[in-house]
Structure 1
Amino acid sequence: MQQATTHISRAIDDKLMEFVVFAIESAAQKTGIPAPVLYNRLEKVDLITRYLIEGYDVLHTQSREYIADTLIEALDNWERYYKEKEK
């Protein structure tokens, strides 16, 4: 039974990872920002975990355009928040 649970857990992790890559690539294409640069910006404000992973259940049912648009908007908002916080 443990082996089956491990297999299911790994499949879920793989699906989640595929979604994160899909979302970052979609936003990168829409903005023209290279995916590694966008990844670093998202990671800096913890949006990969706080938005993409924690929001997976809702986000993975949305369109590619919606995911890219909301990810870009969230990134802009969080970067602005942290920039203002530094002042």
Structure 2
Amino acid sequence: MNFEQLNFTMFCVGNVADALKMSAGNVYRLLRDSGILMEYIVPGYDVLHTFGKDYLVEDIVSYMKEKGVLQ
């Protein structure tokens, strides 16, 4: 993971945490443990970073629900 991907990952984690009213640490663990972080966010950086914050948050939360991470 390069610096840009790390920065983007932290941006995603922080904004998803805000949207879900959860701690960033908890959201990070959920994304890491579910595989979303390393199987979706990091490899999808080139495309995902071109989208706006609201779309990204909605997309990640939706994917978390789809994978059973959230209800």
TM-score, length basis structure 1 = 0.74
The match for 1:59 among 41, 48, 71 is: 48
Instruction: Percent identity, please.
Output: 22
The letter for the 1-side match of 2:47 is: V
Runs of at least 4 residues off by over 6 Å: none
Which structure shows the higher helix fraction? 1
TM-score, length basis structure 2 = 0.89
Question: Aligned-residue CA RMSD in angstroms?
Answer: 1.3
Gaps of 5+ in 2: none
**Aligned counterparts of 1:52 and 1:33: Cα–Cα separation in 2:** 19
1:69 corresponding residue in structure 2? 58
